[in-house]
Amino acid sequence: MLEVKTPEEVLELIQTAFVPVKGRTELVPLTESVGRVLAEDITAEEYVPDFDRSTVDGYALRAADTFGCSDAIPAILPVAGQVLMGEGAAFELPRGACVYVPTGGAVPKGADCAVMLEYTEDYGDGTIGVMKPGAPGMNMIFRGDDVYPGKLVLRAGRVLNAQDIGALAAIGRVEVPVERKIRVGIISTGDELVTPDQTPGPGQVRDVNSPMLTALLNAHGAQTVSYGIVIDDEALLRATVQRAAEACDAVILSGGSSVGVKDAACRIIESMGELLLHGIAIKPGKPTILGKTGNKPLVGLPGHPVAAFFVARLFVLPLLARLAGREQRALTVTAELTESVGANHGRTQVNGCTLSRVDGKLLAAPIRSKSGLITQLAGAAGYFVIERDCEGLPKGAQVQVYIA
């Protein structure tokens, strides 16, 4: 018989019992790659820009031709032509001359800087006066300044954000190698469950856990596959868990609060591989089971939606992060309790709360209600954890609130 484990032991177990899923690289279009995890280092294969560019509207010239010029004694240069946006500057700048370039325009060979229009005067006779001397490199972006062949642009493992998408666009990567999302099969069990669009009959309730877990896991980068509601029939449940385990990287069973269903889930997991955990010393959330078939976790969550939610946040997300080869980082804020919270359970306690800012101080108001009530959590800003060796927290205590 497996013993109940502490939350720390469960998190440790997740790291030792599972390894990252391999071979998950897939190509997606650039426009769909934001938020995805880059699967390979990205190195440039070309120069960006592929030509010397001006960063100002003005004249491209040789800096040496303007040394010592000023408002009083401008350097007078013939205008040898103009560069048009989007066209190359295929000619070489004649000695002692200049060409007009727009911002972003190509600078001809021979020119080593650009002088802003504001510092020049057009004499109307094919020459201009330059009032301010140029310096080599001034107002120029040179070929390959941004990237050049072989330059590392982005490292594997990065979660791609908007500016990364910009960099990939710049180097022409319109298909991006990203990690395939971890696929999670979700099964709800229980004779009492109906789908949310149905009206419950006597003794029935709507399935809350499937849509809630789907929303949670999708928001954290997983891909969920729904296997619907399975009635309390061990053979049927076994067949569904096996089908889900074949198609997915992990399977989450939820519901089945009755002892019979829990026992059936344990038997199914044991027959498919190994049962690793039977109970977590946490409130709510104790009746949680975890097993594996190969490297695929099989999780049995409590049926109570609030318990299922907390266990999913605290343990399933780190589990999926482990499979994805990522570190799970939880976002917390420090807040002050608006009232005392008792905790005399010998179990780690998780409490939903709302957050408000009063006089610049962040206040956490604990939500009190019976366990299992999902509206306890709806409208909550997050939750805080009271360690099992703590008998409660007084009003005014500082707590770390996890943003739900």
Please, which of residues 316-375 interact with a second copy by CB under 8 A?
A: 370-375
From 6-14, 141-149, 179-187, 270-278, give the range in contact with a second copy by CB under 8 A. Answer: 141-149
**Which of 309, 315, 384, 402 is close enough to bind a second copy by CB under 8 A?**
309
- Does residue 108 interact with a second copy by CB under 8 A? no
- Does residue 27 interact with a second copy by CB under 8 A? no
**Which of 216, 253, 281, 311 is close enough to bind a second copy by CB under 8 A?**
216
- Does residue 290 interact with a second copy by CB under 8 A? no
- Does residue 219 interact with a second copy by CB under 8 A? yes
Q: How far is the CB of 395 from a second copy (least distance, A)?
A: 25
- Does residue 136 interact with a second copy by CB under 8 A? no
**Which of 213, 280, 320, 364 is close enough to bind a second copy by CB under 8 A?**
213
- Does residue 163 interact with a second copy by CB under 8 A? yes
Provide the b/e sequence for 119-141 (b: ≥16 CB within 10 Å).
Answer: bbeeeeeeebbbbbbbeeebbbb
- Does residue 218 interact with a second copy by CB under 8 A? yes
Residue 133 — φ and ψ, nearest 5°?
A: -65, 145
Q: Rounded to whole angstroms, how far apart are CA atoms 298 and 281?
A: 19
- Does residue 233 interact with a second copy by CB under 8 A? no
- Does residue 144 interact with a second copy by CB under 8 A? no
Q: Rounded to whole angstroms, how far apart are CA atoms 365 and 387?
A: 18
3-state secondary structure 50-95: CCCEECCCEEEECHHHHCCCCCCCCEEEEEEEECCCCCCCCCECCC
- Does residue 124 interact with a second copy by CB under 8 A? no
Provide the b/e sequence for 152-170 (b: ≥16 CB within 10 Å).
Answer: ebbeeeeebeeebbebbee
Strands of 113-116's sheet in order across: 113-116, 58-61, 98-101, 75-82, 127-130, 120-122
Cis status of the peptide bond prior to 200, with omega within 30 of 0: no
From 48-56, 61-69, 340-348, 358-366, give the range in contact with a second copy by CB under 8 A. Answer: 48-56
Site for a second copy in 177-206 (CB under 8 A): 190-193, 196-206
Query: Closer to a second copy at the Cβ: 197 or 389?
Result: 197
